[in-house]
Chains A and B, each alone.
Chain A
């Protein structure tokens, strides 16, 4: 069971990476990057390194995503807002 789950996680990791490259909207790329980090968190936890999992969740899925959003807002690349 856990092998199947692991394969599923790894497969979705690759899918996320490919989608992040092929997306045209930068906002979608940032969100997919955060999803990638979340999957990575689960994988770290399954590899029995919870400290890495905590750091990945805080930095990869949290802070980096917010920094990317703020940067996109600053360069007026957010679709659907008044700036564009």
Chain B
């Protein structure tokens, strides 16, 4: 009796001090706080500590040096908005005054990036392609890149996801996803008429696809957007872009006349190649966005 009460009193005191929880005794024993031990510093530790100290000091020194170099450069830049800047030349005026006439695009930004500067946009699309290719190399789970632990973990998580399906998310996605995809298609197709274009519309479509994949599971996306479709769309869109602009790239845009009629400005079928290029860029961007999500989340498309 006295032993039991003494035990209870000691536990109660420990509980008051916040050292253990009011649980059964065998659980309580595991919750006792371990005394904090600090090992004696050995000579090697001292050396490492000294090195860490040196590391901090040198990091600050390097940062200060970089800041100084950058500030020195900034002070030697030409003044913002001055008339002698290299940026204020006759190119901008030409784009603004004759852009509509020469490219046929009402949206002057689209006319610039997909006609005058189509080569730059081609480079940007290739950057996206390279990004998704390197993510594929790193994260694709194929024969050579499988860890058993991860597989077990993934299967476990999939079971949990199947058991806890989110009804609210599904219902909302039912309504919202078609609107998002339609808006993305609208922005891409009207790139030469209204604000937007390939990049914005493609990222909207990619976001819609990701929302669909989150709410309905990647298996549903696979029924219409699998690995083969992904490959065909990305490579096909890039090839289409390259082939339709190849003559301009090789001749420096000076050699040939524009043989495609520009049409009436404001109509959807106008502005020559810009509509086609917008669609190509939009497809590449949408596939890249969805590819990033699918590869990071599951390691497969």
B297 interface residue (CB < 8 Å to A):
yes
A46 interfacial by beta-carbon distance below 8 Å: no
Tell me the complex Cα distance, A55–B188, Å: 12
Shortest distance from the beta carbon of A33 to any chain B beta carbon, whole Å:
16
**How far, in angstroms, from A67 to B296 measured CA to CA in the complex?**
8
Query: Do A55 and B293 touch (CB < 8 A)?
Result: no
Evaluate contact between B297 and A63: CB separation under 8 angstroms: no
**A24 at the A/B interface (Cβ < 8 Å)?**
no
Q: Chain A contacts of B196 at CB under 8 A? A: 50-51, 54
B210-224 CB contacts (< 8 Å) to partner A = 210, 214
Cβ-defined contact, A51 with B109, below 8 A: yes
Interface size class of B (residues with CB under 8 A): 10 to 19
Q: B261 at the A/B interface (Cβ < 8 Å)?
A: no
Contact A58 B207 (CB under 8 A): yes
Interfacial chain A residues near B200, Cβ < 8 Å: 51, 54-55, 58
Q: Give the residue name and chain of the B residue nearest to A71 (CB).
A: B296
Assuming the contacts A50-B195, A63-B289, asked whether A55 and B203 have C-beta atoms less than 8 A apart, the reply is yes
- A63, A71, A74: the one within 8 Å of B210 (CB): A63
Q: Establish whether residues A63 and B197, one from each chain, have CB atoms under 8 Å apart when the complex forms.
A: no
Q: Is B293's CB under 8 angstroms from A51's CB?
A: no
What sequence of 0s and 1s flags, for each residue 175-211 of chain B, a beta carbon within 8 Å of any chain A beta carbon?
0000000000001000000011101100110110010
- Asked if B292 lies at the interface with its beta carbon under 8 angstroms from chain A, I say yes
**A70 beta carbon closer than 8 Å to chain B:** yes
Report yes or no: B296 in contact with A58, Cβ–Cβ below 8 A: no
User: Using a Cβ–Cβ cut-off of 8 Å, how many residues does chain A contribute to the interface with B?
Assistant: 14
Give residues 35-61 of A contacting B (CB, 8 Å): 49-51, 54-55, 58-59
**Smallest CB–CB gap between A80 and chain B, Å?**
15
**A27 on interface, CB distance cutoff 8 Å:** no
A74 interface neighbour in B109, B199, B289, B296, Cβ under 8 Å: B296
CA distance A63 to B203 in the complex (A): 8
B210 contacts across to A, CB distance below 8 A: 62-63, 66
A70 to chain B, nearest CB (A): 5
B206:A63 contact, CB within 8 angstroms: yes
Q: Which residues of A contact B207 (CB under 8 A)?
A: 58, 62-63
Partner of A55 from B107, B199, B292, B297 at Cβ < 8 Å: B199
Min distance, Cβ A44 to any Cβ of chain B, angstroms: 10
A51 to B195 alpha-carbon distance, docked (Å)? 5
A65 to chain B, nearest CB (A): 10
Nearest B residue to A55 via CB reads B200
CB distance from B124 to the nearest CB of A (A): 13
For A70, list chain B residues within 8 Å (CB): 293, 296-297
| Bound complex: CA A75 to CA B207 (Å) | 23
Chain B positions within 8 Å of A, measured between CB atoms, are 107, 109, 187, 195-197, 199-200, 203-204, 206-207, 210, 214, 289, 292-293, 296-297
Q: Which 10 A-B pairs have the closest CB atoms?
A: A51-B195, A58-B203, A50-B195, A55-B200, A54-B200, A62-B207, A58-B204, A59-B203, A70-B296, A70-B297
- Besides A50-B196, A63-B207, 15 other A-B contacts (C-beta < 8 A): A51-B197, A51-B200, A54-B196, A55-B200, A55-B203, A58-B200, A58-B204, A62-B210, A63-B203, A63-B206, A63-B292, A67-B293, A70-B296, A70-B297, A74-B296
